[in-house]
Structure 1
Amino acid sequence: MKSKRLEGREETILEPDLPIVDSHIHLFDLPNNRYMLDDYMADATGGHNIVASIYCETQVYSRTDGPEHLRPLGEVEFANGIAAMAATGQYGPCKVNHGIIGHANLSLGAQVGALLDRCMAAAPDRYRGVRHVAVEHPDDRPYKFIMTFKPPRGVLDTPGFPAGLAELEKRGLTFDAAVWDPTLPRLIALADQFPNLTFILNHMGTAVGVDMSPDEKAEIFARWRDNIRALAERPNVVCKTGGLGMPFWGFGFEAREDVVVSEELAKVWRPYFETAVEAFGPARCMMESNFPPDGRSSGYVPLWNAYKILTRGASAEEKAALYSGTAARIYRLEI
């Protein structure tokens, strides 16, 4: 699928001095799909003041041998190596992979504890938690956009999953929750079950609208809004406000041949973005580019301009929380 990530660089940068911790990025080198340190730095130095970023797992660099439950260690080692390179300043001022979220098969229960200990030892200054992707949908429409593998259904309901979360809780680590909107009620139940574990909702719990009619989308939005508000009532849950460039939402920007500008993005994204920020509040929201997946809809420059358009009415204190403060606090970063 064609990437738009380099488009829109001629846009005037809004609020160029506003410090941003990009709370969710991926790096990988796959056939015909490469996004590595040089690619991210080209985006991060495009005009917005990106001071640091958080690496989130893709399982691309998992080990290919050894005990299966320990194989995700390879990706943490990879991400930490990239972070060490970026920390030298030779590639630019951004602290890339300043925090690292690895993968663990939490369905294995207490067995993941050994992996978590190894990851904490491998990247003691940066390893902050785990993501175990649990996206699922009752029909196949959104799966056509899955770039790697189709996650199995019922991940959050596997018998070992709560025991896996308990291992995170014991170590003061966080859980990045990647779910689509039909699974939000199950996530709410888990947040209640583990009130001392920090849950970080990825991509605002994506309201899937692929190939759906306006009436279907309206129904989905209402359901998603109600679940987001209910989830926000749990004080141990924070929200990554972003991911809106992925095609799962059904906005259709990925099919556009012309350059998508920030004003267009902001207009379409506004109801979803404002719902999430209103529900959680700026102190429990952190901004994310989710690059390169969100590069299917627009370039990195207009993406951040769009978010700055959406937060024009926010106070300086609220912007500081949204763009850097919440991420730094939740992921325990020194910026």
Structure 2
Amino acid sequence: MNIRNEIVGVETSQVGPSDERKSSRLKIFDPHHHLWNLEENRYPWLEPGTPSIVGDPSPIRRNYLVADYLADAAQFDLLGTVHLDGGFDPWNPVGETRFVHKLHERHGFPNAIVGQVELDNPKAVELINAHMAASPLLRGVRQIVAWHQDPRLRYVERSDYLRDERWLRNFAKLADFGLSFDTQVYPHQMGDVAAVAGTHSETPIVINQAGMPDGLRTGDLSAWKAGMRALSACHNVYVKISGFGMLLPGWTVGDVKPLIAELVDLFGPTRLMFASNFPVDKLFRSFADIYTDYFECVHWLSPEDREAMFSATAISLYRPVFKA
């Protein structure tokens, strides 16, 4: 099923050039993107004057809805998507799940939802129940816990979430709901993630943005490699490959191909997923250029392994719902 063709009525033969890397023949299932309506909802990180790791977000400080996403992804055979929380109003996280579910009912996608839940919140379980009541598409929750010594790279002010007793108690309850956990961490936090993964092996943990390889800025990737090696030993840990532009805005295939090869070697294709991180990564390059470069980085793999990374792994993990 081609989501774009189903929604906007475009024939596959009319989309893109024949080059496999830029045509609808490259089938993708995008497991990490955002949609937002700034007129109806609040996204604090997008408000003017709010510091952000992405620099100036003003180019994406506008509504980004179904038609916008489909226009960006038009050169590919889009099988479906997973919506990740987009920095929605933290006082009303379930509101985002309701918003996305309405889009699914109207347009047939997104096909799965990962909602915002802060597991240190005393009402975390209530929030999970509310998310699930808001949409049967809920497949996981996410909390970004990425703390960095450099304040410019810091997402949160606490560095100890992954060792906090209340946080860990609430994490343990995810298995009862059958939910996965998405998170964003830096390499120095991966040891703590591995400890959580080892204790709670029944809960899939998804590392976002390729593990935030801050060594792309410094040239020293040793901490990232060691952290990923520790995580790869945990069978329930997956990695989304995306977000390179947040750390290296002008990244090239030469910059990231060694990292992707390292991930393939450590995790294997069945625990890896290419993702767009749109519209955030739109600040750095086009959707087509990102996926073209991803393909260039793994063209040496078998068709089956490429299929795993571009669609099959994500579909298996997030169990998307496709409208008839």
User: What TM-score results when the alignment is normalised by the length of structure 2?
Assistant: 0.82
Q: How many angstroms does 1:13 deviate by?
A: 5.6
Change (3 A) 1:11 1:242: farther
- Please show how residues 27-42 of structure 1 align to structure 2 within 5 Å: 27-30=35-38, 32=58, 33-34=61-62, 35-42=64-71
For residues 207 and 300 of structure 1, the distance between their equivalents in structure 2, rounded to whole angstroms, comes to: 21
- Partner SS state of residue 307, structure 2: helix
- Please show how residues 183-262 of structure 1 align to structure 2 within 5 Å: 183-209=189-215, 212=217, 216-218=218-220, 221-246=221-246, 248=247, 251-253=248-250
For residues 162 and 142 of structure 1, the distance between their equivalents in structure 2, rounded to whole angstroms, comes to: 25
1:25 matched to 2:33? The reply is yes
Residues 125-159 of structure 1 show CA distances to partners (whole Å, capped at 9, x for unaligned) of x111100110111122424xxxxxx4222222322
1:75 matched to 2:96? The reply is yes
For residues 206 and 11 of structure 1, the distance between their equivalents in structure 2, rounded to whole angstroms, comes to: 34
Number of the residue aligned with 1:60: 88
Which one of 243, 247, 254 corresponds to residue 267 of structure 1? 254
For residues 138 and 323 of structure 1, the distance between their equivalents in structure 2, rounded to whole angstroms, comes to: 33
Change (3 A) 1:61 1:13: farther
The answer on whether the counterparts of 2:190 and 2:230 sit within 8 Å (CA) in structure 1 is no
Number of the residue aligned with 2:158: 153
1:128 matched to 2:139? The reply is yes
For residues 226 and 140 of structure 1, the distance between their equivalents in structure 2, rounded to whole angstroms, comes to: 23
1:114 matched to 2:126? The reply is yes
Residues 233-267 of structure 1 show CA distances to partners (whole Å, capped at 9, x for unaligned) of 10011111222222x2xx341xxxxxxxxxx7222
Counterpart AA for 2:188 = P
1:49 matched to 2:71? The reply is no
For residues 252 and 243 of structure 1, the distance between their equivalents in structure 2, rounded to whole angstroms, comes to: 9
Q: How many angstroms does 1:320 deviate by?
A: 1.6
User: What TM-score results when the alignment is normalised by the length of structure 1?
Assistant: 0.79
Which one of 47, 63, 85 corresponds to residue 106 of structure 2? 85
User: What is the percent sequence identity of the aligned residues?
Assistant: 27
1:175 matched to 2:181? The reply is yes
Change (3 A) 1:176 1:121: same
273-282 or 23-32, which deviates more? 23-32
Structure 2: gaps of 5 or more residues? 1-15, 39-46, 48-57
Q: How many angstroms does 1:112 deviate by?
A: 1.6
For residues 20 and 305 of structure 2, the distance between their equivalents in structure 1, rounded to whole angstroms, comes to: 20
- Partner SS state of residue 245, structure 2: coil
21-30 or 233-242, which deviates more? 21-30
1:310 matched to 2:318? The reply is no
Which one of 92, 95, 115 corresponds to residue 102 of structure 1? 115
Q: How many angstroms does 1:11 deviate by?
A: 11
Counterpart AA for 1:53 = T
For residues 181 and 36 of structure 1, the distance between their equivalents in structure 2, rounded to whole angstroms, comes to: 32
Change (3 A) 1:235 1:185: same
Counterpart AA for 2:26 = L
The answer on whether the counterparts of 1:13 and 1:305 sit within 8 Å (CA) in structure 2 is no
For residues 58 and 161 of structure 1, the distance between their equivalents in structure 2, rounded to whole angstroms, comes to: 21
- Partner SS state of residue 22, structure 1: strand
1:166 matched to 2:182? The reply is no
Q: How many angstroms does 1:226 deviate by?
A: 1.4
The answer on whether the counterparts of 1:57 and 1:101 sit within 8 Å (CA) in structure 2 is yes
The answer on whether the counterparts of 2:93 and 2:116 sit within 8 Å (CA) in structure 1 is yes
The answer on whether the counterparts of 1:101 and 1:131 sit within 8 Å (CA) in structure 2 is yes
For residues 16 and 226 of structure 1, the distance between their equivalents in structure 2, rounded to whole angstroms, comes to: 37
Counterpart AA for 1:140 = P
Count matched residues. 284
For residues 223 and 235 of structure 2, the distance between their equivalents in structure 1, rounded to whole angstroms, comes to: 21
Change (3 A) 1:239 1:142: same
Number of the residue aligned with 1:282: 269
For residues 13 and 321 of structure 1, the distance between their equivalents in structure 2, rounded to whole angstroms, comes to: 16
Structure 1: gaps of 5 or more residues? 1-8, 63-67, 88-95, 144-149, 254-263
Q: How many angstroms does 1:229 deviate by?
A: 1.3
Q: How many angstroms does 1:28 deviate by?
A: 2.0
Counterpart AA for 2:299 = R
The answer on whether the counterparts of 2:210 and 2:242 sit within 8 Å (CA) in structure 1 is yes
Change (3 A) 1:317 1:12: closer
- Partner SS state of residue 88, structure 2: coil
